[in-house]
Structure 1
Amino acid sequence: MEYIIWGVGNDDQIGKLIDILNEFEIEVEFRDFRDHPPEFEDLQKWGEFEGEEFPINLRSTFFKKNKKNYDKLNTAKKAEWLARNYHVISRPIIEDGNGEVLSIGGRPERLLKTVFNLNLRDLDF
């Protein structure tokens, strides 16, 4: 099965996750938000998975500074704002090859166990 991981290319945690998955020979397609801005439908789907309008990292300093203005926007404008300010989207977002959301956010070690049913101890370094 192939997996799709959405995120930002310079995110060390995502890089670590992809490196580990490659060691386990798991097929991964990485989609960098900078090169593949999320569509409105993607943002909605991810938000539904989280039980929110959109998947926002509420701890983001940038989001905290802009929350009042963000809250004034309608849904379509919020999606446009998120596509431009992708660094406030919770990540990584992991989907299966059919685009079904499997997980949003989290550290590589937890994701290996919960999404991929893997353990780092199974790797030979």
Structure 2
Amino acid sequence: MLHVYGIKNCNTVKKALDWLNENQIEYTFHDYKKEPAQESKLKEWEKIVSWEELVNKKGTTWKKLTPEQQATVVDDASAREVLLQNNSMIKRPVIEVQNELILGFNEDTYKQKLANL
């Protein structure tokens, strides 16, 4: 079973959940607004993807940081600290499937990696 992490009102998360529902793929959903991301989970993800992939630098939360604050995000530890303080800055959605992570929504990627589950 898949585990999807994100925020319900995020358009990208909505697209991902709609795709999963349309393709009858079972999943559990972890809403950051109800249950913030845990440091242990971020450390787990850091073993699979880089901190650069996890930090959503295109979103408004990142853009609200000062240039000085942005400049402090330089490695796993500093990114993790910022992400724990600002869960909405985590790339969305994060989908755990087997020993892999899928970040964001890309229908072709979903078809390739999820359609046969």
Q: Same fold (TM over 0.5)?
A: yes
Which amino acid in structure 1 is aligned with residue 83 of structure 2?
L
Which residue in the other structure is 1:68 paired with?
Answer: 68
Query: 1:73 Cα shift?
Result: 9.5
Which residue in the other structure is 2:100 paired with?
Answer: 101
Q: RCO (CA 8 Å, sep 6+): is it higher in 1 or 2?
A: 2
Structure 2, unpaired ranges of 5+: none
CA RMSD for the aligned pairs?
Answer: 2.8
Which residue in the other structure is 1:37 paired with?
Answer: 36
- Alignment partners' CA distance in 2, 1:50 and 1:77: 15
Per the alignment, in what secondary structure is the counterpart of residue 9 of structure 1? coil
Query: 1:111 Cα shift?
Result: 3.5
Q: Write the deviation string for residues 33-79 of structure 1: whole angstroms up to 9, x where unpaired.
A: 11121111211222332223771012224314425225179966753
TM-score under structure 2 length normalisation: 0.74
Q: 2:111 matched to 1:110?
A: no
- Alignment partners' CA distance in 2, 1:58 and 1:22: 28
With 3-12 and 68-77 compared, the bigger mean Cα shift is at: 68-77
Question: Which of these two proteins has the greater Rg computed from alpha carbons?
Answer: 1
TM-score under structure 1 length normalisation: 0.70
**Using a 3 Å threshold, how does the CA distance of structure 1 residues 16 and 35 change in structure 2: closer, same or farther?**
same
- Alignment partners' CA distance in 2, 1:48 and 1:74: 13
- Alignment partners' CA distance in 2, 1:27 and 1:82: 27
